[in-house]
Structures are given as C-alpha cells and as structure tokens.
Structure 1
Amino acid sequence: MSSAPSVLFVCVHNAGRSQMAAAFLTHLAADRVQVRSAGTAPAAAANPVAVEAMREAGIDISARTPTVLTAGTVEASDVVITMGCGDSCPHFPGTRYLDWQLDDPAGADIATVRRIRDDIEHRVRGLLAELGVAPVG
C-alpha cells in the first residue's frame, strides 16, 4: 500500500452503514487515508436516523450524497469493506476485501442505529490499527 492507503466502504444504498464508516474513518484518520463510500443501489439521500446518530457523535454527514459503486472505484482502492451488498460487489485481484456483518439501519429506531454506529466506530478504529494509522481523536 502507498503511504496513504485507500479504503472503500460499500453497502446497498450508501445511505447508512457505509456513510457512517466513511465519516468515522475520515474523522479519525484526517488526510492519512483516502476514504470513499458507495452503494450498489444508492438511495436518494443519507438515512436521517444515521445522520442524527452521527451528529450525536460530533460528526455531520447531512450533506453526504449516496454514490453508485463503479468498478473503477473498487479497482482504485487498497481495501474494500462490504456491508451487505453480497455478490453485487465487484472483486479485483490484489485488492483486500473485508465483509463487516452489520445490521442495516434502514427503518431502524435511533437506539438501534446508535448501536450500529458504535459497532462501526469500533471496527474503524481496528482498521486504523491494521493500517498502522494512529487515530486523531
């Protein structure tokens, strides 16, 4: 990996899990990791309950727009972390893939989304350790 590894978070709608993960990694790694997120069937906007849960954690994702997953985005990433997109995520040789089994926050209440958010933060901190990047906060 280069001095600034590239991480891509992928879920179906790119409205909850992958947005929260990308926001945590961006927040904790600053500019030492290139961070992307995408979805196989992106929603029109970020999940409002995920937005609220992240706001409670001091991170604003309200302006983030779900993005469609492309083969080029996957190919340009050192690590691809999937979150429920299954076989619709393209795979390329030489790319490291991780699958994080996380509940989908779509339609969930704030208490459930807080639990998912906290699980994601824990996993992102573990990923930083694996990448050898000390968290900023």
Structure 2
Amino acid sequence: MTDAADVDVDADTDATTTRVAFVCVQNAGRSQMATAFARRERDERGVGDRIEVVTGGTDPADHVHDEVVEVMGEKGFDLADETPRAIEQDEIMNVDIVVTMGCSAEGICPMTWRGDARDWDLDDPDGRDLDAVRAIRDDIEGRVSALFDELAG
C-alpha cells in the first residue's frame, strides 16, 4: 500500500471502472484497515482493471494508530509505514462509492460527493484495547468482502 491515492481520478478514466473511497476523519485507523482489505480483495479477485481504491481523511493524523498497525500485522498487513493523507474535494467528486467509517453518523464529515454514500458507523479504534480493535478489524474485513461480492459480481 502507498500513502498516496491508488488511482488517478481524472475524468479520462474508463467509465467501466468503479472508484471506491474509504474515508474517515484521521485516515489512521478504520479507513486504513478497509483500504488494506479492499486492495487485497481487488488483487485476489483479479478486478484491478475494474475497481480502483482510494483512501483519505478530512483531518489526517500524522501516523496510523499503533493498535491498528498491530492487529493488521496479525492478518499479514504492514501498515507501519503508511502515512494518513488528506482527501481533496475534487478527488472525492470523481468517486463512485464513498464509504465513510462513522464520521457521517457523527455529523462531522465536511465533504460532499456525487457518488453512492455509505456510512459503516464503526467505532474508532484509537486508544482501544487490542480485542476491541480486532473486533473492529474483523467487522471491516467482512464488510469489504461483501462490498466486493457486490461490485465484482
């Protein structure tokens, strides 16, 4: 995974490509986990030419939460060197599905977008004990898999 968007969101992108964004306030926990699982699903299902993944936050932190790095490492993901990034308004306007992690439910997401909006209303893992973070991680993994079942057919 990289700290930049996985996709160039220019209008020239093929209309058959579905762009999915995982967004939360800090881009340091839930959206990082969702992005890691989504990239794995995309690669394992061989749909990289049809599904693009982007992530970001409205007020990014300076690093991924330590407890998130630890529990994702248990699943084989190394998020230690990931850098939370800001998602820009023009970038998100070219996304087909925007999945917020709970900020819409809290009424604090200042972004607007044209795509399908889905809020997963997940607890923030920051500062939680590892068992709680594992439960959030496993919930996200299941939701990402179901999303790819829907998108990949």
Q: Scaled by the length of structure 1, what TM-score is found?
A: 0.89
1:22-37 matches, cutoff 5 A = 22-30=35-43, 31-32=48-49, 33-37=51-55
In structure 2, what is the Cα distance between the partners aligned to 1:15 and 1:55?
A: 15
1:50-69 matches, cutoff 5 A = 50-69=68-87
Q: Is the 8 A contact 2:67 2:133 kept in 1?
A: yes
In structure 2, what is the Cα distance between the partners aligned to 1:5 and 1:59?
A: 24
Aligned with 2:33 (options 14, 20, 23): 20
Q: Is the 8 A contact 2:103 2:121 kept in 1?
A: no
Q: Is the 8 A contact 1:40 1:85 kept in 2?
A: no
**Identity over aligned residues, as a percent?**
42
Alpha-carbon distance, 1:132 to partner: 2.0
2:112 matched to 1:112? no
Unaligned runs of 5+ in 1: none
Partner of 1:130: 150
Aligned with 1:42 (options 57, 60, 66): 60
Render the CA deviation track for 1:71-128: whole Å, top value 9, x for unaligned: 12211211100112234242233x1110001110010111111000000000000100
SS at match of 1:35: strand
Q: Is the 8 A contact 2:22 2:100 kept in 1?
A: yes
Partner of 1:91: 112
2:89 matched to 1:71? yes
Q: Is the 8 A contact 1:105 1:112 kept in 2?
A: yes
Q: What is the RMSD computed on CA atoms of the aligned residues? A: 1.6
Aligned residues: 132
In structure 1, what is the Cα distance between the partners aligned to 2:132 and 2:52?
A: 29
Between stretches 82-91 and 117-126, larger displacement belongs to: 82-91
In structure 2, what is the Cα distance between the partners aligned to 1:47 and 1:5?
A: 29
Q: Of Structure 1 and Structure 2, which has the larger fraction of its residues in helix? A: 1
Partner of 1:80: 98
